[in-house]
Amino acid sequence: MGTHMKTTVELADSLLEEAKATARKHGVTLRTLIEEGLRRALDERRRRHTRAFRLPRASFKGKGLRPDVADGSWASIRDRAYEGRGG
């Protein structure tokens, strides 16, 4: 864990009392309970912000690919996309 630092945090009285009671009930210190909760909150935020990117579903009703690009090759799709645009 390394070093420890003292700090002051303002909490609502009711939250602090509930935390103290919970710590007593489970036989841990208030510090341990607070550190555990903070670690969980940080871990949850980290997981939420590092999820793999998912491309949104963007399909639509239709009859599939056009015959000139049905083979799925990138070259045929690219040629079709740039058709009539030069280059």
What's the domain count of the chain? 1
R_g over Cα of the chain: 29
Identify whether 30 is part of a domain. yes
Identify whether 19 is part of a domain. yes
Range of the domain at 40: 13-49
Identify whether 8 is part of a domain. no
pLDDT of residue 51: 72
Which residues in 53-68 are b (16+ Cβ under 10 Å) and which e? eeeeeeeeeeeeeeee
Q: What is the pLDDT along the chain (87 residues), one digit of tens a residue?
A: 578 889 999 999 999 999 999 999 999 999 999 999 999 999 998 888 877 778 888 777 777 777 767 777 888 788 878 888 875
Identify whether 62 is part of a domain. no
